[in-house]
Amino acid sequence: MAGTQRTGGDQLVTVGATGALPPPINHPVNHILRRYYTVWAVYSLANGFLFGVYPLFLRARGLNQFEMNSVLATYFAVTFLTDVPTGAFADALGRRRSFVLGCLLRLSAFMVYFFAHAYPIFLVAESIDGIGTTFCNGAIDAWGVDALDDAGFAGLKDRLFSRISQLMNVGFMTSALIGTYVADVNIAWPWLMSAAGYGISAIVGTMLMSERAGHRTHIEFAKIPAQVIDRVVSGFRLGFRSRVILMLSLANGIFFAASAPYWLEWPQYVNDSYGRGIWVVGWVYCLLTVGRLVGAEIVMRMRMDGSTRSTRLIVLIAAASAAFYAGGAAAHRPNLVVALFFLMNILIGAMMPLMQSWFNEQIESSQRATLLSFNSTFATMGAATGLLSVGAYADVAGIPGTWKVCAAIFVLAMPCYWLIRPRPASPDADAHRSGLGADHW
């Protein structure tokens, strides 16, 4: 799970040891790039061992679907609440120390998971892992971007982040396959493998993430709770003023409400339907990941026109919802379900760049952190609401029945994009917009 780069908030002031910034470390750009890619690759490998195994492990330890979903909902809630505080710590302590601390926290959480057999203990482990995740994710990118700037990297970083995304997906697929094969021997061992992976990541980060002291900051930690509240309040104030940002954030929340339960359900369905071993789940995970990559690549090769973006998203949502519903209806034919979910992931892969680019185009640089928090609030609350409500229903109606419900929830995002579609402008409308702003209510 890749996080956003953190700024640490308004109370951070960059200082050097003598009041001025020391000279940058003179590392060649290619040397920094190799280090950046290596840290992300190792960290991604550690992440992926549990993809596909996670819900099967929780079920094997006696949790029902609602309890499994509530464990993941806890993760979403903790990452939201700790994103700003851990960003502040990262800026104060340095990105390398933040990353190493995050890896050690995740290692500890996964060891708790390995030994846990009671529902409350899983909630504790997930909370620790959520805190560790927020320490890690933003620290890598913040360190990498700063190091590249110091080394004289010139130009846009779009290709750089695209390559990192590719490395992450390759790492996820590789370790997911290994994890599912190991889980066939002992379903708890992938937790030990991921814990070891985070330990190795901490060592790699210590060795490769060199940074100059001037990138550390001074912060008054007592002000962090007020900073969190201020960001949320400011985000809601700004978000509700803009119809486009509000509708895009609401659509994002609906998307997470519909898709979050699916993440925990399809591995169980695949494992139970084929009955050949957990390794099958690993291969299906790779297939679905390839589907998302294909969808994103298709969008990148198409001519983008802002006037048709809302229509494209509405069509993609309708098609993905139909595939999702059909998967629930065809539950007795697992091969068809996997094919339908592959199609759905292609459609979702095509949707995500459109959603992200549209939202980012609405944000001024001075308001980026605040409005990204506003958007993540909807995503977090949507995911948690979907997980808890659909999880309770799954224990009664079964997993295929919940897919039909999630498909119906997915459709609710379509009106959000319809309401903010570009409309032909009349002279009166142009005069009105010039005074009030095009995206105000």
Tokens 């995970």, residue?
A: 285
Quick one: CA torsion of 391, 396, 401, 403, rounded to 10 degrees? 0
pLDDT, one tens digit per residue, over 121-164 is: 999 999 999 999 888 876 887 788 777 777 777 665 556 666 67
Mean pLDDT of 239-249: 87
Residue 440 DSSP one-character state: B
Residue 438 has pLDDT above 90, yes or no: no
d(CA 34, CA 31): 5
d(CA 236, CA 233): 5
440 — phi, psi (to 5°)? Answer: -80, 160
pLDDT of 90 reads: 66
Tokens of 133: 């995740």
- With bands split at pLDDT 50, 70 and 90, how would you rate the model's confidence at 18? very low
Which amino acid would we find at residue 8? G
- With bands split at pLDDT 50, 70 and 90, how would you rate the model's confidence at 32? confident
Tokens 């814990």, residue?
A: 195
Distances (CA, A) of 175 to 7, 206, 286, 398: 31, 22, 10, 29
7-21, 86-100, 219-233 — which is least confidently predicted? Answer: 7-21
Which amino acid would we find at residue 221? F
> Which residues are CB-contacts of 56 (< 8 A; sequence separation ≥ 6)?
183, 187, 267, 268, 271, 278, 281
- The mean predicted confidence, pLDDT, of the chain is 81
Q: Check: CB of residue 172 under 8 Å from CB of residue 44.
A: yes
Most confident of 186-200, 212-226, 292-306: 186-200
Which domains does the chain carry? 24-219 (1.20.1250.20), 223-422 (1.20.1250.20)
pLDDT of 177 reads: 94
* Cα angle, residue 80 at apex, residues 74 and 85 outer, rounded to 5°: 120
Mean pLDDT of 226-250: 78
53: left (phi over 0), alpha (psi -120 to 50) or beta: alpha
Closest C-alpha to 333, from 410, 260, 400, 391: 400
pLDDT, one tens digit per residue, over 111-133 is: 999 999 999 999 999 999 999 98
pTM: 0.80
With a pLDDT cut of 90, the percent of the chain lying above it is: 46
Mean pLDDT of 332-348: 96
d(CA 408, CA 424): 31
Give me Rg for the CA atoms of the chain. 22
Q: Around Cβ 81, how many Cβ atoms within 10 Å?
A: 17
Q: Check: CB of residue 357 under 8 Å from CB of residue 349.
A: no
d(CA 107, CA 206): 16
> Which residues are CB-contacts of 356 (< 8 A; sequence separation ≥ 6)?
none
